[in-house]
């Protein structure tokens, strides 16, 4: 199953869904696609509803407003766990930065025994194509900060193209993830490494977004740095641990 958060991705999503469908139909895997849309003003959700009419394997979770990539994934994963049957879950961007044909290699890596497979720019054979220097710098800086403060061992910490088995998704959802924005990708890895899950990096080439506007702002960069610092100081707690703390405070 493939989960895709969208905000103003009309011109990408109407092409991406058919591409994923074609690629997975031609592979040995069955597919389901979940779009988590934050009431995009460009009508992304309406276009997805149209596609849904002829394809029951496409699902749509509509949220009232833009609440951040991380929170879209958390809601999407929780919805998928309670409503759909799947063995492997793939998360990816809607803008073709994550080439849909690489889904098959990621899923295969999980089927071969890894809990989590990361599409990675920073292992041999991986890279970024046609990315401006300032975006490369932000990406490298974000990875450097996360390595330094959190001691994560994988190379591409901030990438958002990943596959994981159902057990990994279930475990992840038992944690209280605080990242609403881009640091979500890092927070998940903190949890996965803490749990000792088997993580593999699969090289891929990150492409520039095909259509639509970039959403990464300076505000998001600062928010990311703040989240990494918070994680390094406080870690990431399980939901029940948090509940216990609250209870302790009450008595």
Ligand X SMILES: Nc1nc2c(ncn2[C@@H]2O[C@H](COP(=O)(O)OP(=O)(O)OP(=O)(O)O)[C@@H](O)[C@H]2O)c(=O)[nH]1
- In the complex, what is the shortest distance from the CB of residue 69 to Mg ion, in angstroms, rounded to a whole number? 10
Contacts of 5 (CB under 8 A, 6+ apart): 35, 36, 37, 38, 69, 72, 73, 76, 93, 94
**For residues 92 and 197, which CB has a smaller minimum distance to ligand X in the complex?**
92
How far apart CA 197 and CA 170 sit, in angstroms, is: 12
Which residue number, 72 or 164, has a Cβ lying nearer to ligand X?
72
Taking CB within 5 to 8 Å according to partner kind, which of Mg ion, ligand X, none is near residue 94? ligand X
The alpha carbon of 241 is separated from its chain's Cα centroid by a whole number of angstroms, namely: 25
Minimum distance of Mg ion from residue 98's CB (angstroms): 8
**Stretch binding Mg ion (CB under 5 A), from 15-23, 128-136, 190-198, 207-215:** 207-215
Give the footprint of Mg ion on residues 67-96 (CB under 5 A).
93, 95
CB of 155 to Mg ion, least distance (A): 20
Using CB under 5 A as the binding rule, whether residue 180 contacts Mg ion is answered as no
C-alpha torsion sign, points 62, 64, 69, 75? negative
Q: Does 185 engage in binding with ligand X (CB under 6 A)?
A: no
Work out whether 209 is an interface residue with Mg ion (CB under 5 A).
Answer: yes
Q: Shortest Cβ distance from residue 93 to Mg ion (Å)?
A: 5
Binding of ligand X by 72 (CB under 6 A): yes
Closest CB to ligand X among residues 6, 32: 6
Task: Work out whether 97 is an interface residue with ligand X (CB under 6 A).
Answer: yes
Q: In what order do the strands lie in the sheet with 2-6?
A: 58-62, 33-37, 2-6, 88-91, 162-165, 116-120, 199-203
Q: Which helix (H) or strand (E) holds 36?
A: strand 33-37
Does 168 contact ligand X by CB under 6 A?
no
CB atoms within 10 A of CB 82: 8
If the CB atoms of residues 57 and 210 are measured against ligand X, the closer one turns out to be 210
CB closer to ligand X out of 47 and 197? 47
Q: How far is CA 47 from the centre of its chain?
A: 22
- Span interacting with ligand X, options 30-38, 117-125, 170-178, 234-242, rule CB under 6 A: 30-38
- Of 21, 167, 16, 17, give the one whose Cα is nearest residue 88: 167
Beta carbons within 10 angstroms of residue 176's beta carbon? 16
Contact status: 210 vs ligand X (CB under 6 A): no
């Amino acid at each position: 199953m493939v989960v895709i958060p969208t905000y103003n991705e009309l011109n990408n999503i109407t092409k991406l869904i058919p591409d994923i469908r074609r690629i997975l139909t031609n592979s040995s895997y069955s597919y389901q696609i979940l779009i988590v849309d934050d009431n995009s003003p460009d009508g992304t959700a309406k276009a997805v509803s149209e596609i849904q009419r002829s394809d029951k394997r496409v699902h749509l979770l509509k949220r009232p407003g833009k609440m951040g990539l991380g929170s879209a994934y958390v809601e999407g994963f929780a919805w998928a766990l309670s409503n759909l049957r799947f063995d492997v879950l793939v998360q990816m961007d809607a803008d073709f930065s994550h080439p849909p044909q690489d889904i098959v290699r990621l899923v295969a890596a999980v089927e071969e025994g890894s809990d989590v497979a990361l599409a990675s720019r920073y292992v041999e054979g991986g890279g970024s194509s046609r990315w401006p220097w300032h975006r490369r710098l932000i990406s490298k800086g974000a990875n450097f900060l996360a390595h330094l403060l959190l001691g994560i061992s994988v190379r591409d910490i901030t990438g958002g193209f990943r596959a994981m088995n159902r057990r990994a998704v279930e475990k992840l959802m038992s944690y209280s993830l605080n990242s609403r924005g881009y640091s979500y990708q890092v927070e998940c890895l903190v949890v996965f490494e803490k749990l000792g899950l088997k993580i593999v990096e699969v090289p891929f080439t990150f492409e520039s977004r095909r259509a639509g506007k970039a959403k990464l702002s300076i505000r998001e960069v600062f928010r990311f740095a703040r989240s990494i610092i918070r994680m390094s100081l406080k870690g990431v707690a399980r939901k029940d641990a948090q509940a216990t703390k609250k209870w302790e405070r009450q008595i």
